Amino acid sequence: MPPRGFKYFKRVIPLSPGFLQRKKTSFIGVDVSATAVKMVELSAVGKQQFRLDGYANVTLPKGVISDGNINDLAQVADTLRSAWRLLGTRARQVVLALPTASVISKRVIMPAGLREEDMELQVESEANQYIPFPLEEMNLDFQVLGPMGKSTDEVEVLIVAAKKEKIEDRVAVAEEAGLKVSIMDVEAYATETAYRQILKQLPNHSKKTITMILDIGAHVTHVNVMVGTHSVYSREQAFGGAMLSQEIQRRFGLSHEESEIAKRQGGLPDSYDQEVLQPFLQNLAGEVSRAVSFFTNSTQYNKVDHILLAGGVAATEGLAALIEQKAGVHTLVANTFQGMTLAQKIKPSQLETDAPALMIACGLALRGVDA
């Protein structure tokens, strides 16, 4: 099960007592990627039951964010504001995430039964040993994951650290857009949170089921392998949807923004499918097949039961079938909203197309309403 959030990260943002216990409040998950701002608004309507109140996906100008760094805070804030207006909501409580590469994490073993203040001191001592930056430049947090094996004397503790400026930049752009940040999470953990909503879609799922989640971003594909609900492997592969966008721009003389819209909404010349899209999909399927082989050859696991595709490219017609054929693994497209109640304004057919790009944003919204 993914971590439930980070106290030290949240201490950057003052909270009123008992705030997160208001289960019925809507929360907006905000995924700020290199190419777009994606928002998902969820409400809790029962125990582990949620309603999708709305979502938005607004393209960011090229270069505004690079390598997880916000280069133009004002432009990102404007895009956040535009996305929020598209939601048509009064809710302003948002959950944000840091890029996984911006966070240092380590699992350590500690004695069970420590008081929180004693555990904090031990966390700082541990952090001094593995964080290559002065601690005064970092925000630290920890979470007790549970007993270490069958031992009742020791617990496994996850320690995370991120540079203060990374958190402060994201909080600043949200506040500039008129939003109130409640939780700062990590993209990889948001993906795992969303994955729990998809488990019931997997045939014959068990605690031993091995699922490879592929979040196909603009420049990098994030690979996260789950055994049951536990992450056992992660890496990044230098391949993404920007390659398709760049080829669209080159072939048809479009701008970056126009190519991103065209990928989602269509309207490209007839030659696009055979000359641009199909070669890209073939290359992507080959990359996925290599990712599966690399995983099975470099770990104790000799198979993958399912491949789960996320990211905007994932919804491309025929991609899942092509990957399943090349990799020899059952492949499906991520839709974390299956089984949720939908607001009347949401069109199910459009949501099915948009859902793969919203996996992280949905995971973040779930962190808010399920906190």
Distances (CA, A) of 85 to 39, 109, 175, 242, 369: 11, 46, 15, 27, 21
Reported as a single tens digit per residue, the pLDDT across 296-307 is 999 999 999 999
From CA 346, how far away is CA 323, in angstroms rounded? 29
Q: Where are the domains of the chain?
A: 7-101+166-191+359-369, 103-163, 203-335
- In CATH terms, the fold of domain 7-101+166-191+359-369 is Nucleotidyltransferase; domain 5 (3.30.420)
Tokens matching residue 275: 């000359």
Say if residue 308's pLDDT is above 50: yes
How much of the chain, in percent, has pLDDT values that exceed 70?
93
At residue 3, the pLDDT reads 52
Say if residue 144's pLDDT is above 80: yes
- Per-residue pLDDT, averaged over 57-86, amounts to 93
At residue 85, the pLDDT reads 97
Same fold, 103-163 and 203-335: no
At residue 309, the pLDDT reads 97
Q: What is the mean pLDDT of the chain?
A: 88
CATH number for the domain whose boundaries are 103-163 = 3.30.1490.300
Say if residue 91's pLDDT is above 70: yes
Query: What angle in degrees, to the nearest 10, is found between the helix axes of 242-252 and 278-298?
Result: 160
CATH of 203-335, one of 3.30.230.30, 3.40.50.150, 3.40.50.1580, 3.30.420.40: 3.30.420.40
By mean pLDDT, which of 116-120, 256-260, 303-307, 309-313 is the weakest? 256-260
Total-model pTM: 0.88
